[in-house]
Amino acid sequence: MTDPIAALITMIKNAGAAERPLVTVPYSKIKHAILTCLLNVGYIASVSKKTKKGHPVLEVSVLYNSDGSPRVIHAERVSKTSRRVYMGVKELRPIRNGKGILILSTPKGILTNTQARKEMVGGEALFTLW
């Protein structure tokens, strides 16, 4: 797996499309921080660290809207392993007229674009969700 963050967001998007309640992903600190940020914003229902077959994993509960559609419809990786994309605080704009979010890796941790603007900090743009 060359890009574990891309695999993470693809697993969440595909689990929602397949109407699965849970998705299990391999554990890492960055994935845990990203999923905690998504939990705080309201794109996933819950996240918990468990052990399966002696290896740590993260169990993610997929969140659905009241009409049964998944909360995460589209996910797009911005910064890739071949091309890193960095954004300053002045470059951060609303995604899809405020209906989507941009996840950033900043010196203050993993933040959304609105949180990063409030903190007046920029960083590496990881991916967008809506």
Structure confidence by residue, pLDDT tens digits, 54-63: 999 999 999 9
What are 111's two structure tokens? 């933040």
**Closest by alpha carbon to 87, among 120, 124, 119?**
124
d(C-alpha 6, C-alpha 78), whole Å: 10
Is 68's pLDDT higher than 90?
yes
Predicted confidence at residue 86, as pLDDT, reads 98
- In this model, does residue 78 exceed pLDDT 90? yes
Cα-based distances in Å from 86 to 9, 13, 41, 79, 105: 19, 24, 22, 8, 9
Tokens of 32: 């845990």
pLDDT, mean of residues 101-130: 97
CB 47 within 8 A of CB 61: yes
Q: Write down the pTM of the prediction.
A: 0.94
Average pLDDT, rounded, for the chain: 96
Q: Is the pLDDT of residue 88 over 80?
A: yes
pLDDT in tens, 13-56: 999 999 999 999 999 999 999 999 999 999 999 999 999 999 99
pLDDT of residue 1: 66
pLDDT of residue 2: 87
Q: Is 106 exposed, middle or buried (0-12, 13-18, 19+ CB in 10 A)?
A: middle
What was the pLDDT predicted at 57?
98
